[in-house]
Chain A
Amino acid sequence: MVEEQDKILEEVTGSEYKYGFVTNIETETIPKGLNEDVIRMIWEKKGEPDWMLEFRLKAYRHWQTMEMPQWAHLQIPEIDYQDIIYYAAPRQKASPASLDEIDPEIKATFDKLGIPLDEQKVLSGVAVDAVMDSTSVKTTFRETLAEQGIIFCSMSEAIREHPDLVRKYLASVVPVTDNYFAALNSAVFSDGSFCYIPKGVRCPMELSTYFRINASNTGQFERTLIVADDDSYVSYLEGCTAPMRDENQLHAAVVEIVALENAEVKYSTVQNWYPGDKDGKGGIYNFVTKRGICQGKNSKISWTQVETGSAITWKYPSCILLGDNSYGEFYSVAVTNNRQQADTGTKMIHIGKNTRSRIVSKGISAGFSNNSYRGLVKVLKGAENARNFSQCDSLLLGDKCGAHTFPYLEVDNPTAIVEHEATTSKIGEDQIFYCNQRGLSTEDAVGLIINGYAKEVLNKLPMEFAVEAQKLLQISLEGSVG
């Protein structure tokens, strides 16, 4: 019986990565390696003001004094930071005014990924910033958004055109010295998205950034900054894919969110970087720092992530709950299969009074993978009546994978109530058989069971993404059960 199930599991987890194609375009790259000259080169290419050079060099100099973090439950092969290309951009006009100026190959690439850059073709109200390798190739619906005073553009443009806003908030949530990968990102980031929602505006459409790695031997270092002014609301989506390559590619992003009084930011990620092949060859190293600050009273930040890709994931989207009555949420589904490794979770830092947070993490491990939840709930002295609820569930498919939970609690206020629940379960042969007996194939059964398990998180995603994410979960586990 156990053997049967193993066979089944192996069958369902052996499927192909759908987005592994390479786009054949001319790419402008700089030589491999990292030093101050390289940073100057990036700074020059981006045409940035002087303060950005200082910003980058300060980060770089600090990074040199740091060591790669070793505390995660991950086995990370040594990374040669001199063997990476830090800037690669499709050769085209920097900010194409119209669609005609975009290389048809790039357009075709995003079409193939289901992200049309043509505003006419977009299904619903989703504005997209499409980033390929180191640069943003197109941001849609900018004019529509601008009518309401919403700024949605690439980070490069924001630095040039909205320097005051950028300077005020950039690195205000994730300081350049925060951690190894954040420092590296601050030194070399080349693009990303910037978004500002003015006071009292409810953003009428979903904003999204789609990250695509295309060039080989490069790292992608993007920077996203979202500022929601008083009484505003925005829902933001992020998607990512990369070609199948035998080499490992580094992706070290930083996302910062600032929510002012009564503002609400919903940030959703569907991460599907190339996970490597069945034997663990290739795949993206996804070392990402995401943090939001609920700066104003009654503000709210909600992180939702569906993590299916990457060879290694190191990622802890967090909330600093500074404003009184502010609220932080983290909803996560992390799937690991084959040789994938994930160490992901969140930090909820309660500073203000009556701050609340909710953590729902659903890990799914298959194949030979390792999946860890790591979360910190910290309640500071002044955080009267802070509340946290955490639920961390792990689901195992097969018996060669691992699931781990590392919850940390630091509570310095006696009025705080912190709850933690955790479960670990195996997908049941009896559940699969029950579905089989109703006429469902084992693969469909696993898809159904997994989606049921992850439902609470998937329900938090915007509609179109939820459907995609459901399919993605099923595809990621194809071949793991049969």
Chain B
Amino acid sequence: MLVIKDLHAKINDKEILKGINLEVKAGEVHAIMGPNGSGKSTLASVLTGRELVEVTQGAITFNGKDLLEMAPEIRAREGIFLSFQYPVEIPGVSMVNFMKAAVNEHRKYRGLEPLTASDFLKLMRERKELVEIDSALTNRSVNEGFSGGEKKKNEIFQMAMLEPKLAILDETDSGLDIDALRVVANGVNKLKRPDNAVIVITHYQRLLDYIVPDYVHILYNGRIVKSAGKELALELEEKGYDWIKNGENA
């Protein structure tokens, strides 16, 4: 589904990613871990097409298509979803309108008619129940005045609405209490299907107790320095990042 080859990228002339190679297949869950500043969020930005990152070398294909050639909205319509680390507030724009616009853009891209108002509201109700999000949240403006936990739940709700092929969760666990963490993880797990994939970006092992990865990659200093099964996360938790850092230096 996603193939990243020798990816180099920089922000403001500073090279952040220094040759990433990664393949994600349908049905898989990948965790990307690493200390602050290792390039995790930059990778998410490259995948979603954020302008501030400049790709200097390498290639990314998504379902066989050249991802780097696509505008951010096209990537989204192709099925890439980012659960933002810091979801943005859009005052005055109701969640209903926002999601309706988004869902219908996705449908249009696939050659489908827009949903009728009643079908759309029905879909919203279903997905709200699925991810256990409070009904009141969707009556408010996009993320406006939401608590940290509500914002993250709202990201997962949007994911449920858009049913992406590849979901990237960028530190979705940061700032969540244990109950919210469970809600978010349950939502992600319920949306898991053999034909979609998830990349979980996180500092900590604790989210991975709930969203169990097939592979864990450790990103350090712009490179994936170690890849293994889920046990790697536990090992990392135990030994700390110094273990990796020292390994790099050795």
Q: How far is the CB of B98 from chain A (nearest CB, A)?
A: 7
Chain B 84-114: CB-based contact to A (< 8 A → 1; otherwise 0)? 1001111111000110011001100100000
Complex Cα distance, B102 from A455, in Å, reads 19
Which of the segments A24-32, A154-162, A336-344, A431-439 contacts the partner chain? A431-439
Complex Cα distance, B71 from A429, in Å, reads 15
Extra 20 A-B pairs, beta carbons < 8 Å, given A438-B102, A439-B73: A4-B51, A433-B88, A434-B84, A435-B90, A435-B98, A436-B71, A436-B73, A437-B48, A437-B84, A438-B98, A439-B76, A440-B101, A441-B73, A444-B101, A444-B105, A448-B97, A451-B92, A452-B90, A452-B91, A452-B142
A440-B73 in contact given A4-B51, A434-B84, A448-B97 (Cβ < 8 Å) = yes
Interface residue? A463 (CB, 8 A): no
Interface residue? B72 (CB, 8 A): yes
| A434-B88 in contact (CB<8A) | yes
Complex Cα distance, B87 from A435, in Å, reads 11
Question: Which among A429, A438, A439, A449 has the highest number of chain B CB atoms within 10 Å?
Answer: A439
Within 8 A of A (CB), among B102-144: 102, 105-106, 109, 141-142
Query: What are 19 pairs between A and B in contact, CB < 8 Å?
Result: A433-B50, A436-B49, A436-B71, A436-B76, A437-B48, A437-B76, A437-B81, A437-B82, A438-B162, A439-B77, A439-B102, A439-B162, A441-B73, A448-B93, A449-B90, A452-B90, A452-B91, A452-B92, A453-B92
Q: How far is the CB of A216 from chain B (nearest CB, A)?
A: 40
A454-B92 in contact given A433-B72, A436-B72 (Cβ < 8 Å) = yes
Within 8 A of B (CB), among A417-441: 428-431, 433-441
Query: B161: nearest residue on chain A (CB-CB)?
Result: A438
Within 8 A of B (CB), among A393-437: 428-431, 433-437
Contact of B92 among A428, A433, A455 (CB under 8 A): A455
Where chain B touches its partner, the secondary structure class is: mixed
Interface residues of B (CB under 8 A from A): 48-52, 71-73, 76-77, 81-82, 84, 87-93, 97-98, 101-102, 105-106, 109, 141-142, 158, 162
Instruction: Enumerate chain A residues within 8 angstroms of B102, measured Cβ to Cβ.
Output: 438-440
Interchain residue pairs A-B with the least CB separation, the first 6: A452-B92, A452-B93, A455-B92, A436-B72, A438-B102, A439-B76
| A434-B92 in contact (CB<8A) | no
| B51-A1 in contact (CB<8A) | yes
Complex Cα distance, B71 from A430, in Å, reads 15
Q: How far is the CB of B14 from chain A (nearest CB, A)?
A: 14
Interface residue? A456 (CB, 8 A): yes
Question: Which among A428, A430, A456 has the highest number of chain B CB atoms within 10 Å?
Answer: A430
Complex Cα distance, B71 from A477, in Å, reads 21
Q: How far is the CB of B12 from chain A (nearest CB, A)?
A: 9
Complex Cα distance, B245 from A109, in Å, reads 74
A453-B51 in contact given A436-B72, A438-B102, A440-B73 (Cβ < 8 Å) = no
Instruction: Enumerate chain A residues within 8 angstroms of B97, measured Cβ to Cβ.
Output: 448
Where chain A touches its partner, the secondary structure class is: helix
Instruction: Enumerate chain B residues within 8 angstroms of A438, measured Cβ to Cβ.
Output: 76, 98, 102, 105, 158, 162
Query: B102: nearest residue on chain A (CB-CB)?
Result: A438
Instruction: Enumerate chain A residues within 8 angstroms of B51, measured Cβ to Cβ.
Output: 1, 4, 429, 433
Interface residues of A (CB under 8 A from B): 1, 4, 428-431, 433-442, 444, 448-449, 451-456
| B101-A428 in contact (CB<8A) | no
Complex Cα distance, B90 from A428, in Å, reads 10
Query: B94: nearest residue on chain A (CB-CB)?
Result: A452
Question: Which among B49, B84, B90 has the highest number of chain A CB atoms within 10 Å?
Answer: B90
Instruction: Enumerate chain B residues within 8 angstroms of A442, measured Cβ to Cβ.
Output: 73
Query: B84: nearest residue on chain A (CB-CB)?
Result: A434
Contact of B101 among A433, A448, A454 (CB under 8 A): A448
Instruction: Enumerate chain B residues within 8 angstroms of A437, measured Cβ to Cβ.
Output: 48, 72-73, 76, 81-82, 84
Complex Cα distance, B72 from A4, in Å, reads 14
Instruction: Enumerate chain B residues within 8 angstroms of A4, measured Cβ to Cβ.
Output: 51
Instruction: Enumerate chain A residues within 8 angstroms of B88, measured Cβ to Cβ.
Output: 428, 430-431, 433-434
| A440-B105 in contact (CB<8A) | yes
Complex Cα distance, B159 from A439, in Å, reads 12
Instruction: Enumerate chain A residues within 8 angstroms of B89, measured Cβ to Cβ.
Output: 431
Question: Which among B48, B73, B81 has the highest number of chain A CB atoms within 10 Å?
Answer: B73
Complex Cα distance, B162 from A454, in Å, reads 27
Instruction: Enumerate chain A residues within 8 angstroms of B93, measured Cβ to Cβ.
Output: 448-449, 451-452, 455
Query: B91: nearest residue on chain A (CB-CB)?
Result: A452
Complex Cα distance, B93 from A456, in Å, reads 11
Instruction: Enumerate chain B residues within 8 angstroms of A436, measured Cβ to Cβ.
Output: 49, 71-73, 76
Instruction: Enumerate chain B residues within 8 angstroms of A435, measured Cβ to Cβ.
Output: 90, 98
Complex Cα distance, B97 from A444, in Å, reads 12
| B101-A434 in contact (CB<8A) | no
Q: How far is the CB of B84 from chain A (nearest CB, A)?
A: 7
Complex Cα distance, B97 from A9, in Å, reads 23
Complex Cα distance, B96 from A452, in Å, reads 12
Query: B50: nearest residue on chain A (CB-CB)?
Result: A433
Instruction: Enumerate chain B residues within 8 angstroms of A453, measured Cβ to Cβ.
Output: 91-92
Complex Cα distance, B77 from A221, in Å, reads 51
Q: How far is the CB of A323 from chain B (nearest CB, A)?
A: 33
Instruction: Enumerate chain B residues within 8 angstroms of A448, measured Cβ to Cβ.
Output: 90, 93, 97-98, 101
Complex Cα distance, B101 from A434, in Å, reads 13
Complex Cα distance, B97 from A452, in Å, reads 10
Complex Cα distance, B109 from A455, in Å, reads 28
Complex Cα distance, B90 from A439, in Å, reads 16
Instruction: Enumerate chain B residues within 8 angstroms of A429, measured Cβ to Cβ.
Output: 51
